[in-house]
Amino acid sequence: MPLVSPFRTSFATQTSRDLLLLRVVTDAAEGWGECVAMAAPLYSEEYVDGAADALRRFLVPALAAAGPVPATSVASVLAPFHGHRMAKAALEMGVLDAELRAEGRPLSRELGAVHDRVPCGVSVGIMDDVGALLDAVGGYLEEGYVRIKLKIEPGWDVEPVRAVRERFGDDVLLQVDANTAYTLADARHLARLDPFDLLLVEQPLPEDDLHGHADLARLITTPVCLDESITSARTAAAAIRLGACQVVNIKPGRVGGYLEARRIHDLCVAHGVPVWCGGMLETGLGRAANVALAALPGFTMPGDTSASGRYYARDITAPFVLDDGHLPVPTGPGLGVEPLAEELAAVTTATEWIAV
């Protein structure tokens, strides 16, 4: 699916999204899962062809061999296979969607949502120059987004933040995301962001450096948020215990599914740690599920649950459209949305059925 504009982070520039969808057909209903792995292992070790291989050779056969399995048991059935959280999340999502559709229950209710709409932030990629950045941020604010996130990297950090603050003022909710681009040796430089009253700095150091993040959190006043480092409720608990983060970004695909995402939410609520829902340039399928998750009570900060038009001129579902800076939580059974046949066919490059 082509993006409406290039999206540049510290690790890659994307102009299109190569997506893996999973359709789960049961005797009672069918459901959809979306795998958020990228085409190349740049955000994490997973990539879309590898996810397809893991699903085809290991995960789907294991689930089939276990017999009829409720969605709540999918993770335990797949636990013997190490890693592959994004592939596992897609499979669990599809099973959960089918199960909830058969029972007429919406995903939001299943997860414990308490809101019927969620506030939306937007992620702004690294630009060629500050002028282009200011134009982009201004456009998103005019559309109604309630929070701006700037992607940063060494050489593109303090000055872009300064320019946005000077142009749009201190009232704009503003945060930055480094995607692991720095090291602890950059602590003094990252401290130069402190005067700009940012909501947080997201994943400044490598994902395996919890101790480094804990040290950094003591050296800067901007709250540290973890993204790539949080792969389960267990790693979230360790990060909180170490003081490695004051905020957690929950991405269901990264942690193995929406049920594990809910466990992380519950853990963070118990420890008084605010959470928000991250995004992986999902289609309307993944976006619907993310919005349902973001309606839980602990999601007290606007997430990257942007409108469909932020990334895609044409989505494969009915588009999610911003309304006063918010998106509505779907109320239909399961995800509450499903693919539009013509739109899906237009972007489908291959289809494979796995009979079980």
Identify any residues that bridge with 81 across adjacent strands, giving them in sequence order.
Answer: none
154-177 b/e with 16+ CB inside 10 Å = b? eebbbebbebbbeeeeeebbbbbb
Q: What b/e readout covers 116-133, taking b as 16+ CB neighbours within 10 angstroms?
A: eebbbbbbbbbbeeeeeb
The total of other beta-carbon atoms located within 10 Å of residue 102's CB is 16
- Structure token pair of residue 133: 């950045």
Contacts of 47-51 spanning 24+ positions with Cβ under 8 A: 48/18, 48/19, 48/20, 50/84, 50/87, 51/20, 51/84, 51/86, 51/87, 51/90
First to last CA, the chain: 29
Helix axes 85-103, 258-270, angle to 10 degrees: 100
d(Cα 143, Cα 19) in Å, to the nearest integer? 27
Q: Which of 147, 251, 254, 265 is catalytic?
A: 251
Tell me how far apart the alpha carbons of residues 50 and 57 are, in angstroms, rounded to a whole number.
Answer: 10
User: Which among 219, 224, 129, 137 has a CA at the least distance from the CA of 180?
Assistant: 224
Is the CB of residue 138 less than 8 Å from the CB of residue 172?
Answer: no
Catalytic residue among 151, 213, 254, 265: 151
Tokens of 59: 């995960």
- Say whether 149 is catalytic: no
Distance from C-alpha of 90 to C-alpha of 55, rounded to nearest angstrom: 9
State the amino acid at position 158 in one-letter form.
V
**Cα gap 271→227, rounded to integer Å:** 18
The residues carrying an active-site annotation are 151, 251
